[in-house]
Amino acid sequence: MISGYKLIEIPSFIDERGGLSFVECGQLLPFAVRRVYWLYDFKKARGGHAHKKLQQFIFCTHGNIDILLDNGRDHNCITLNSPNQGLYIYEPLWREMSRFENDPQLVVLASNLYQEEDYINSYEDFKQWKSHS
């Protein structure tokens, strides 16, 4: 088991009308949300990178998706398949998304705006960077 992430239950209410889940800024996550983006209509594997500083909270509003998390030595595979559970990544971890079922739709809440210099796009570079940090 690796560290640097955790699964968080998202508050939800379900009644005869359907379900409602929510994330309130300053409540569920220990970071201010600076960027929100979503992924959908997956054609092939996504991810294949790590972030040096960025924290993310990822949840799947529809369908199923596997996210491989790797610290450079060990890895875990997390399946997101419920709109009331999210994956909080708070340390630099390599991530790859695969096994898309039932037209998955992901929403990502990020701790910072897009910064190209925060990305590590090569797994070998990631392992080298981790060994020096």
Tokens 């209410």 appear where?
13
Residues identified as active-site: 49
Q: What is the amino acid identity at position 108?
A: V
Q: Rounded to whole angstroms, how far apart are CA atoms 20 and 84?
A: 9
Reduce the secondary structure of 29-67 to three states and give it as a string: CCCCCCEEEEECCCCCCEEEEEECCCCEEEEEEEEEEEE
